[in-house]
Structure 1
Amino acid sequence: MQNQNLINPEDFKNKKVILLVFGTRPEIVKLFVLYRVLQKSQEFYPVLVNTSQQKISGDILKHIGLTPEVVLDEIPNRSTDLNQLTAHLLTELSNAFNNDSLIKRSDVAGIMVQGDTSSAYCGAMWGFFNQIPVFHIEAGLRTFDHLNPFPEEFIRESIGRSATLNFCPTNVSYDNLIREGIRSNKCYVVGNTINDAIITLMNEGLIKDSTFDGNFILSTLHRRENWDKVQDYAKILNKYATEVNRDKQILHLIHPNPLVKDNFNKVFDGKYPENLIVRDPVHDYFEMLGLVKSSYSILTDSGGLQEESLFFNVPCGVLRKVTERPEVLGKNARLLPFDDNKVTEFLSESDDYIAKNSGKLNYTYGYGNTSELIYEAMKNFYY
């Protein structure tokens, strides 16, 4: 609900109230710089709305100096059922901005959503249903396959059509929207706010040094469409660690979902190879960025890691059939099937890429001014 200690109606009397809706760590990472920009502006009154879709480490909010003005109730039993989650979030948003609230629905001038989560989807739908302008950050990403990834591809398509303005990271994503019939005056190429976040955290000295020596492979696997491939992937890691390269450490961050965790562990019968280190996910984002920055190579199905690895020029094997981020392909990343020979081939070629690009930063997704460009576009829209 609304935090009465943080909201004073007098403060937004002559400003546009903009809700920044988030419920996962990647969303707040990609929104916090924009929140700061809007907070300093004369025109806007930004309000952070935490949907509680996931538990977010308090460290990231603390260290970037943010306290959400609105926190929605968690879904009972933290259900991951998409039907229950959607109904819950839409209801919670309506309850949070009712006529008894400090910020009422009629006070809200716009809703900002980022990416393709259930929180973004419900924030956009709630805005659309209430005829409130919706602004979509990271718009236009497409795989053209509703099952890969599921349900994200459908979510971002839906938000793109309902959004008042779409903020695209590259010309590729912009062109996707134009081909879908979205008018060009509703689409802006601004870069990706992930670069805003990383550059800001670097400048503020918040990225932690890795405790690993750099000669390690960072590994994650979590997407729904890969749940039936978990054992195949565990066998690939086991073979690489025991037969291909015993000198290379592999740090695998295992997803807490019991289905994923149990299937992964079945392959090892309770004992991992010495050079395969299996840990729970790193919830400290500053530590995670340090791992990305210092890793030898990355194997993942994560969208965020594709972006972060590109910025730091770390080779990235994308464990998916398709990616909505084609900009990374042909640079630091390659799509990989669940095939031990293909994975080994990719890792063996990482040395060449590292030799050419070590220490260089990649600015494909912008130079850290994306939030400023979004702010300027919003000013033009309202004023």
Structure 2
Amino acid sequence: MSAIITNILCVVGARPNFMKIAPIMRVFKRHETTLAATLLHTGQHYDAAMKKSFFDQLHIPEPDIDLGVGSGSHALQTAEIMRRFEPVLDDLKPTAVLVLGDVNSTISCALVAVKKGIPVIHVEAGLRSYDRGMPEEVNRVLTDQISDLLFTTERGAEANLLREGIAAERIHFVGNVMIDTLRYNLDRAIEPMALFSSAGGEIEPENFSAGYGLVTLHRPSNVDNPANLKCLLTELRSISDRLPLAFPVHPRTAQRIKEYALENLLNSPRILRLPPQGYLEMLGLMRHAKLILTDSGGIQEETTALGVPCITLRENTERPITVDEGTNTVVGTDPEKIRTCVGEVLGSGGKQGRVPEYWDGRAAERIAEVIINWAQQR
């Protein structure tokens, strides 16, 4: 048995990271004679019940370290993660720090690592919306600039990185670990009719059994602006006359709906308001939906993998492959565009699309192979 040659400190911080780390930890475990992985949770996602649900459902091992940072402004959260992360690096002295996606934990931990001379590995590198008004875009760009290994989900991401001066030998096209998780868990997805049947109130489950749409909203540009949120909820109410809607409401969105006194727009027997759902519940809801209206980046990818029409309620996307090859249409928040796109989906079934290259459930295996080769050459 060969000695362990690489000690990777894997960082997660928020819900999107959980789906991405699950297949990586699983594959690293298979390579434990050459890869040792330590899992650190910054606590950026501070809903303990949701975190436990995702870790349990996705069979992610309990974090070896939990920084317990919690909520706060972008500046406060970033600073607190950095402050608590530095002593961990001093103690563990890992070979490299692996970060995922574009949340505050990603850039915070990458910055601390690179300033200490520890290589940074960025999974899901090179995605660009070209909208610097999105905090995630700033996190993506900065993390890529200081990373030693950059793993991309689509070939267009490599082109973005090359334009920004990233050396080609640091970039590796491996596919999408989110889709690894989706494919691994598809047979375990929870059927949605149980949710509909237990809804109670004025909800009529038979309406949903004939087909439904799924809604998610959480972007600040959509939910923190009273006019934008009212416009979107008004349009959802109108859409529900044609197709009943299931709406797992993000805590931030629920708070804004109450704060702006907009709850009456959702008081309909054809709109099922749900609390935040676990991964397997959401997978079941997505899999069986006729269409999905969302402002989530991850859901744009998952709908493309599932072949479900997706209507993105944003002005841009950092995942253009879901539009070019997949089932996604970006409509912004214009009611007429939303209405037209919904009509096309309900009329003709919407975009068919195809599953992009390397979205085959083996991205984590490719990541492990590259890291092992990279470590051996250092």
Q: TM-score, normalised by structure 2?
A: 0.87
- SS of equivalent to 1:269: helix
Q: Which residue of 2 aligns with 1:70?
A: 64
Q: Among 82, 91, 94, which residue is 2:86 paired with?
A: 94
Q: Among 143, 165, 175, which residue is 2:159 paired with?
A: 175
Q: Which residue of 2 aligns with 1:376?
A: 369
Using the alignment, how far apart are the partners of 2:56 and 2:238 within structure 1?
41
- SS of equivalent to 1:57: helix
Contact 2:309 2:350 in 1 (8 A): no
Q: Which residue of 1 aligns with 2:192?
A: 210
Using the alignment, how far apart are the partners of 2:229 and 2:107 within structure 1?
28
Using the alignment, how far apart are the partners of 2:334 and 2:131 within structure 1?
22
Using the alignment, how far apart are the partners of 2:350 and 2:114 within structure 1?
49
Q: Which residue of 1 aligns with 2:198?
A: none
Q: Which residue of 1 aligns with 2:35?
A: 44
- SS of equivalent to 2:349: helix
Post-superposition offset of 1:97 = 4.1
**Residues 84-117 of structure 1: CA distance to partner in whole angstroms, max 9, x if unpaired?**
101111111123344xxxxx242x0011111000
- SS of equivalent to 2:184: helix
Q: Which residue of 1 aligns with 2:24?
A: 34
Post-superposition offset of 1:164 = 0.2
**Residues 178-226 of structure 1: CA distance to partner in whole angstroms, max 9, x if unpaired?**
0111010010111110111111113xx3221221536111011111122
Using the alignment, how far apart are the partners of 2:348 and 2:371 within structure 1?
40
Q: Which residue of 1 aligns with 2:55?
A: 61
**Residues 330-355 of structure 1: CA distance to partner in whole angstroms, max 9, x if unpaired?**
43111113232221211111146638
Contact 2:123 2:150 in 1 (8 A): yes
Counterpart of 2:319, as a letter, is R
List alignment gaps of at least 5 residues for structure 2: 194-207
**Residues 250-296 of structure 1: CA distance to partner in whole angstroms, max 9, x if unpaired?**
112222126523256x33438612211222221x1011011010001
List alignment gaps of at least 5 residues for structure 1: 1-10, 99-103
Q: 1:24 to 1:365 in 2, by over 3 A?
A: farther
Post-superposition offset of 1:136 = 0.5
Task: Give the length in aligned residue pairs.
Answer: 353
Using the alignment, how far apart are the partners of 1:285 and 1:275 within structure 2?
24
Contact 2:67 2:85 in 1 (8 A): no
Q: 1:270 to 1:333 in 2, by over 3 A?
A: closer
The 5 A counterparts of 1:1-383 are 14-41=4-31, 42-54=33-45, 55=47, 56-75=50-69, 78-98=70-90, 104-106=91-93, 108-147=94-133, 150-202=134-186, 205-211=187-193, 213=209, 215-226=211-222, 227-228=224-225, 229-242=228-241, 245=242, 248-257=243-252, 259-262=255-258, 266-269=261-264, 272-282=267-277, 284-330=278-324, 331-351=326-346, 354=349, 357=352, 362-364=355-357, 366-383=359-376
Post-superposition offset of 1:126 = 1.7
- SS of equivalent to 1:59: helix
Contact 2:13 2:43 in 1 (8 A): yes
Using the alignment, how far apart are the partners of 2:191 and 2:98 within structure 1?
33
Q: 1:214 to 1:59 in 2, by over 3 A?
A: farther
Among the aligned pairs, what percent are the same residue? 26
Q: 1:125 to 1:271 in 2, by over 3 A?
A: closer
Contact 1:314 1:354 in 2 (8 A): no
Contact 2:344 2:350 in 1 (8 A): no
Using the alignment, how far apart are the partners of 1:175 and 1:256 within structure 2?
36
Contact 1:218 1:295 in 2 (8 A): yes
- SS of equivalent to 1:74: coil
Instruction: Return structure 1 stretches of 4+ with deviation > 4 angstroms.
Output: none
Counterpart of 1:124, as a letter, is A
Contact 1:255 1:261 in 2 (8 A): no
